[in-house]
Amino acid sequence: MSQGELGSTLALTQSNVSAIERGDRGPTIYQVAKFAKALGVSIDEIIGNGRPPAEARLKSGRLLRRLQRIQELPSADQRAVLKFLDALLEKHGRRS
């Protein structure tokens, strides 16, 4: 779901959704509930039980958007992407 589509669902502008995603502004409790409903997840998954959600820990919004797009790929393509990333990380001394 794009930021624009999510914004339309939540009656927010795309720029407001982007600012929330980047952590530049926090959502209201009502917006958190709407986000959870729109995304089909629990409020706990969004707020992370006191921990910032994985999305908030990522510093790069571009990286997050790419990871979300990878999740939408067919399983075989996801495995191919992960295999490539694992090889690249291994080359640079980092393991998954």
pLDDT digits (tens, 9 = 90+) for 8-23: 888 889 999 898 888 8
| CATH number, domain 1-57 | 1.10.260.40
- The mean pLDDT of 53-72, rounded to a whole number, is 72
* Percentage of the chain exceeding pLDDT 90: 10
92 has pLDDT over 80: yes
- Distance between first and last Cα of the chain: 27
pLDDT in tens, 30-62: 888 888 888 888 887 777 665 555 555 556 677
Distance CA 5, CA 14 (A): 8
In degrees, to the nearest 5, what angle opens at C-alpha 74 toward C-alphas 17 and 21?
15
Q: What is the pTM of this model?
A: 0.46
* Percentage of the chain exceeding pLDDT 70: 83
Residues contacting 34, CB < 8 A, separation 6+: 9, 10
Contact 37, 30 (CB under 8 A): no
In the chain, which segments carry CATH 1.10.260.40? 1-57
- Residue 53: the pLDDT is 53
